[in-house]
Structures are given as structure tokens and as C-alpha cells.
Amino acid sequence: MENPNVEKKNNEVEIPKAPNFVERFVTSAVINHTPDDLFIIEFLRPELSAYAEKDSGKILGHKGILVSDVRIYMTPKAAKRFLNALKENISKYEEKFGSITLEEETKGNMD
């Protein structure tokens, strides 16, 4: 079903979503490859829980772990196209919003 509020260009097509389509928020990924020409990307998401005082119910804190949520298998060519698209999109994002700094890049500068 087309969204009448979205303006489409002539070269655009709407990609339908599968009935079991889900969206996920992930914070980490593990990437590996096999000798059988498969790249495996495993996406991890935080799973948080709170703990409380038994009698009062007062929240005392929270803790969390990363859980494997989605695993994707790609051919080498699909993985390379994915990498190129991701690089292009990161570049566009940084042009608009500024450089993305990773924690591991700044740790060495804190001495």
C-alpha cells in the first residue's frame, strides 16, 4: 500500500515488507566469514533489567547484557555492496552532522 504523503521520484520503487518483518535497535555487531564464501553478521542488542528493594519496590539500579538478536548471511559480493553503501551513508551523515567519534579512538588521547 502506497503512502500518499510520500513524494516519489520516477526511478523509485516501493519495496514491500515481508509479513514477519521486524525492526531492531542494535548497538554492536560481530562479523566473520566462512571458507564456503559466506559472510556472517550477527547483530547484538542490549537487554536491560532493573532491580529493586524487595519491601519498598524502590529501584536500586539496573544492569544489562548484550544478546544476539539477528544473524545475516551474505555472499562476498553482497557484503562488499553492503560495505560500500554503509561507507557512503556514513560519509553523508558526517557531512551533515559532523564526525562520528568512537570511544576506542579517544581512549589513547586521554593520557
Residue-level pLDDT at 12: 87
**What's this model's pTM, rounded to 2 decimal places?**
0.66
Q: Is residue 61 within 8 Å of 50, Cβ to Cβ?
A: yes
- The residues near 61 (Cβ < 8 Å, ≥ 6 apart) are 50, 51
CA distance 48 to 64: 4
Distance between CA atoms of residues 48 and 12, nearest Å = 39
At 10-63, the pLDDT tens digits run: 788 889 999 999 888 898 999 999 999 999 999 999 888 888 888 888 888 888
